[in-house]
Amino acid sequence: MSERRRWIPPLVAKALVIGLVAALLLIPIGMVSGLVGERVGMRQTAAARVAESWGGAQTTGGVLLAIPVETTRVVIEQSPAGRETQRTEVNRNILYVLPDTLDVVATAEPDFRPVGLYNTPIYRARVQIAGAFVTRDFAHLLVEKEGREVKWGEARLLVLNSESRALRAVDDLIVANERLPVAADGYAGSAGISTSVPMAALRDSTTIPFRMNLTLAGSSQLTFLPLARKADIALTSTWPHPKFEGAPAPLDPAISDDGFSAKWSVLEINRSFGQTWYDSEVRPGMPVELALAQSGVGVIFYEPVDVYQRNYRAVHYAILLIAITFLTFFLWEHLSGIAIHGMQYLMVGLALALFYLLLLALSEHVNFDIAYGVSAGALVALITIYLNGVLRRWTLALGAGAGLSTLYTMLYWILRSEDYSLLMGALLLFGVLAILMIATRRVDWSSVGRLKREEAE
């Protein structure tokens, strides 16, 4: 016997070979994981195509009053020669005012838009908006004097929406009890619509009421801007898996398999800015875009555990299941005296890795549960038949198949669980380790290694 064989005990050599095979299997597992990421990217591309044609995530409900103010001043300049010249400088600023009250009642009707293999959640939302401006909030800011002129005739009411093309209908836009025409407009990176405001309402009324009905087409998310001294928002939908976004959270949301309903009540003191501002900053250092982004509340039409999330999670457990399988075979081989070649470990490992590719491919076409059952059943049958040829005994092969079936059944329940997957995975590891420790507690591993060396010599 060579010095190398005496130096490396057969038991250790076999363990190293199995470890090398397991390390090599990280390559196909990594490729499958990358493929899952690629398919996720393709689904996101499909969702982007739907958003381009139908409408993306929508933000709506923000109503502002925009009133131009021009300030004129005479600037005296002195030339190097000492001559004085005068010029008139006109500065134009826009005063933006938020309503005193804002009431939004919305209903979102969800659906799916297929693009190839992928279904993207979309919705059609009907939004009723009503509220009122109180002139005392801004009258003191519109005092006219010499050099300062309020452009009453250019005042407009803005209704913000993230995408103009997502507006399917604008009905009954009424300001100060007058039905008014609308035009496309925008502010602070938001699109939307606007209409003129009757001059008499601005100058003579104590309140300026408004109301309108909008129909929006969007996908994935619906957000409202509760911009008022007191804003109340009510949203209902038949989507069963809402994920609420923004602060404050909705008051007592109701969620069931038939859909959800949610209400928000937002006060001025819940914001970091006031009821009025000029131009592009709601306060020094805070641009309007940032203020609007931080103010929204709404819902994401969320799929709690989708096909690709489950495939990702399954692949994360791949090396664990391979390690458990190889460790079981290794102990079985050295306790029973039945030799399993390193190449046979590799074949079984490749079959275990192929399971995840088969699961991914099938789950894109059929229900995930069915895809999992078919993939796991095919894998267990393949390995059982292969082991029968290796071990020459059906009883041993069927025992191995039963063990694999148990492992993949436990993995299935781990993937099905949203909140307890970590706990179940930890219990699986503990249970397998406990079984192996109990089964081998009386084994004299030094004797096993010594017997193997004596047989080899």
Instruction: Please classify residue 165 by burial: count the beta carbons closer than 10 Å to its beta carbon, then call 0-12 exposed, 13-18 middle and 19+ buried.
Output: middle
Predicted pLDDT of residue 312 = 85
pTM, 2 dp: 0.75
The residues, any chain, with a CB within 8 Å of residue 296's CB and separated by 6 or more, are 59, 223, 224, 225, 245, 246
For residues 95 and 141, the answer to whether their CB atoms sit within 8 Å is yes
List the pLDDT tens digit at each of the 457 positions of the chain.
Answer: 444 445 566 767 777 888 888 888 889 988 988 898 898 888 888 888 888 888 888 989 889 998 898 888 877 777 777 677 777 788 888 889 999 999 999 999 998 888 877 888 889 999 999 999 998 888 888 877 777 888 888 889 999 888 888 888 888 788 888 888 888 777 766 778 888 888 888 877 888 999 999 999 998 899 999 999 999 999 999 998 899 998 888 988 999 989 999 999 999 888 888 888 888 888 888 888 888 888 889 999 887 767 888 888 888 888 888 888 888 777 777 766 677 787 888 888 898 899 999 999 998 888 888 999 999 999 999 988 888 887 777 877 788 888 888 888 888 888 877 667 778 778 877 887 787 778 767 766 666 555 444 444 4
Task: Tell me how far apart the alpha carbons of residues 265 and 234 are, in angstroms, rounded to a whole number.
Answer: 9
Task: Tell me how far apart the alpha carbons of residues 369 and 364 are, in angstroms, rounded to a whole number.
Answer: 12
Task: Tell me how far apart the alpha carbons of residues 122 and 217 are, in angstroms, rounded to a whole number.
Answer: 8
Helix 318-336 × helix 26-53 angle, to 10°: 160
Q: What tokens appear for 86 in the block? A: 């005068």
How distant, in Å, are the alpha carbons of 65, 272, 282 from that of 275? Answer: 11, 10, 9
Domains and CATH numbers, the chain: 3-43+307-456 (no CATH), 59-301 (2.60.40)
Task: Tell me how far apart the alpha carbons of residues 106 and 215 are, in angstroms, rounded to a whole number.
Answer: 10
Q: What tokens appear for 87 in the block? A: 């010029």
For residues 154 and 94, the answer to whether their CB atoms sit within 8 Å is no
Predicted pLDDT of residue 4 = 47
Task: Tell me how far apart the alpha carbons of residues 267 and 264 are, in angstroms, rounded to a whole number.
Answer: 10
Q: What tokens appear for 42 in the block? A: 């393709």
Task: Tell me how far apart the alpha carbons of residues 106 and 239 are, in angstroms, rounded to a whole number.
Answer: 14
Predicted pLDDT of residue 453 = 47
How distant, in Å, are the alpha carbons of 317, 367, 370, 376, 400 from that of 407? Answer: 11, 21, 17, 10, 11
User: Which residues are paired to 86 by β-bridges?
Assistant: 76
Instruction: Please classify residue 130 by burial: count the beta carbons closer than 10 Å to its beta carbon, then call 0-12 exposed, 13-18 middle and 19+ buried.
Output: middle
Residue where the block lists tokens 């008499």: 200
- Three-state DSSP state, 173: strand
Q: What tokens appear for 169 in the block? A: 């209908």
- Three-state DSSP state, 337: coil
Could you give the dihedral angle defined by the CA atoms of residues 241, 246, 249 and 253, in that order, rounded to the nearest 10 degrees? -20
Which amino acid, residue 37?
G
- Three-state DSSP state, 381: helix
Predicted pLDDT of residue 251 = 87
Task: Tell me how far apart the alpha carbons of residues 323 and 361 are, in angstroms, rounded to a whole number.
Answer: 24
For residues 103 and 130, the answer to whether their CB atoms sit within 8 Å is yes
List the helix and strand counts (H, then E) for the chain. Answer: 12, 20
Which amino acid, residue 434?
A
Among 401, 374, 372, 373, CA closest to 385 = 401
Phi, psi of 74 (to 5 degrees): -95, 125
Radius of gyration, alpha carbons of the chain:
35
User: What b/e readout covers 206-245, taking b as 16+ CB neighbours within 10 angstroms?
Assistant: eebbbebbbebbbbbbbbbbbbbbbbbbbbbbebebbebe
Predicted pLDDT of residue 420 = 72
Q: In the chain, what is the greatest distance between 2 CA atoms, to the nearest angstrom?
A: 115
Residue 345 neighbours by CB distance under 10 Å: 23
Task: Tell me how far apart the alpha carbons of residues 214 and 17 are, in angstroms, rounded to a whole number.
Answer: 68
